[in-house]
């Protein structure tokens, strides 16, 4: 006896894969903000059939080392303890995973995830993280380049600061006691006095620059009656 099969029945919806996303930015003014990263990751997830169920975010954290990156620490701890309900971790690119000075450290944290059955996807990279020989070579180069970028940037910043100090500009934090910061133009002419809280007042007397980026220090008010109330920091 044969049983009729309804060939017109439509297949069920494709099974989605549960995923987590990891986002990181070093400073609040960084080009690759966590919102921008999340947008690219969401687009990648929609194209690949991933459902993002967990977010690990390190805001304002350096990628040079694991210290201070609580979200990445929590991700690795969850993976090792088996507390995850996802099979994939989505990351914007290799540098967001970390700019570790030792490329093997970056690879080690990815290995911990892969050993637990969780794969890492770099959504903005031009390679598939499939373990192939070409991917392994490219990924190793990307990790080394990410760490080298931080080393080169550190040298450039230090060199620039030394040059500005040599030109007579002051480096460091707020002006010392009895001094106020002054904004100057390219010809070192005073433009305004920088007040606490970001306010400015027009410069009323010339003063030589003594700070970075056109900011100089000048003496404070000569009399207590000239002191103006300042907004709290």
Question: Residue 26 and residue 63: Cα distance in Å, rounded?
Answer: 7
Q: Are residues 131 and 26 in the same domain?
A: yes
- What is the number of other CB atoms lying within 10 angstroms of the CB of residue 91? 25
Q: Are residues 120 and 191 in the same domain?
A: no
Domain annotation covers residue 136: yes
Domain annotation covers residue 11: no
pLDDT band at 147 (very low <50, low <70, confident <90, very high): confident
Q: Which of 40-49, 69-78, 141-150 has the lowest mean pLDDT?
A: 141-150
What confidence score (pLDDT) does residue 159 get? 74
Domain annotation covers residue 163: no
Q: Are residues 30 and 121 in the same domain?
A: yes
Would you say the pTM of this structure is higher than 0.85? Answer: no
Note down the domain range covering 198. Answer: 168-219
**Domain tally, the chain:** 2
Span 45-97, pLDDT tens digits: 999 999 999 999 998 888 888 888 999 999 999 999 999 999 999 999 999 99
Domain annotation covers residue 144: yes
State the DSSP string of the chain.
------TTPPPPPPPPEEEEEEEEESSTT-SS-HHHHHHHHHHHHHHHTEEEEEEEEEET--SS-STT-HHHHHHHHHHHHT----SEEEES-HHHH---SSHHHHHHHHHHHHHTT-EEEETTSSS--S--HHHHHHHHHHHHHHHHHHHHHHHHHHHHHHHHHHTT---SSS--TTEEEEEE-TT--EEEEEPTTS-EEE--S-----SGGGEEEEE--SSGGGPPP----
Q: Are residues 39 and 133 in the same domain?
A: yes
Q: Which of 24-38, 63-77, 96-110 has the lowest mean pLDDT?
A: 24-38
Q: Are residues 52 and 96 in the same domain?
A: yes
What confidence score (pLDDT) does residue 222 get? 46
Q: Which of 120-129, 138-147, 167-176 has the lowest mean pLDDT?
A: 167-176
Q: Are residues 140 and 31 in the same domain?
A: yes
Q: Are residues 149 and 196 in the same domain?
A: no
Half-sphere exposure of 144 (CA within 13 A, CB side): 6
Q: Are residues 52 and 23 in the same domain?
A: yes
Domain annotation covers residue 198: yes
What confidence score (pLDDT) does residue 144 get? 87
Q: Are residues 79 and 137 in the same domain?
A: yes
Domain annotation covers residue 129: yes
Higher-confidence residue of 152 and 233: namely 152
Span 182-198, pLDDT tens digits: 777 777 788 888 776 65
Q: Are residues 75 and 172 in the same domain?
A: no
Question: Residue 90 and residue 219: Cα distance in Å, rounded?
Answer: 54
Q: Are residues 58 and 132 in the same domain?
A: yes
What confidence score (pLDDT) does residue 75 get? 96
Q: Are residues 127 and 206 in the same domain?
A: no
Could you tell me the CA-to-CA distances from 209 to 162, 173, 175, 190 in Å, in that order? 16, 15, 12, 8
> Which residues are CB-neighbours of 19 under 8 A, at least 6 positions away?
45, 50, 51, 52, 53, 86, 87, 88, 89, 90, 121
Domain annotation covers residue 232: no
Domain annotation covers residue 160: no
56, with CB counted inside 10 A (0-12, 13-18, 19+), is: buried
Residue 65 belongs to a domain with what CATH number?
Answer: 3.40.50.1390
Does residue 116 register a pLDDT over 50? yes
């Amino acid at each position: 006896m044969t049983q009729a099969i309804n060939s017109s029945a439509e297949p069920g919806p494709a099974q989605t894969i549960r995923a987590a996303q990891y986002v990181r930015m070093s400073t609040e003014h960084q080009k690759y903000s966590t919102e921008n990263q999340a947008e690219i990751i969401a687009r990648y997830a929609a194209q690949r059939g991933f459902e993002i169920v967990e977010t690990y975010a390190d805001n304002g954290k350096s990628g040079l080392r694991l210290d201070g990156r609580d979200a990445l620490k929590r991700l690795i701890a969850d993976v090792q303890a088996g507390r995850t309900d996802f099979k994939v971790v989505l990351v914007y690119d290799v540098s967001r995973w970390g700019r570790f000075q030792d490329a093997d450290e970056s690879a080690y944290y990815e290995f911990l995830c892969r050993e637990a059955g969780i794969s890492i996807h770099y959504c903005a990279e031009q390679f598939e993280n499939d373990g192939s020989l070409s991917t392994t070579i490219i990924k190793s180069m990307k990790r080394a380049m990410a760490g080298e970028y931080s080393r080169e940037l550190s040298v450039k910043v230090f060199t620039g600061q030394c040059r500005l100090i040599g030109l007579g500009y002051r480096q460091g934090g707020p002006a010392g006691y009895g001094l106020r910061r002054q904004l100057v133009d390219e010809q070192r002419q005073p433009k305004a006095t920088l007040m606490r809280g970001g306010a400015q007042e027009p410069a009323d007397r010339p003063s030589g620059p003594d700070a970075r980026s056109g900011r100089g220090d000048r003496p404070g008010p000569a009399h207590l009656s000239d002191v103006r109330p300042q907004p709290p920091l």
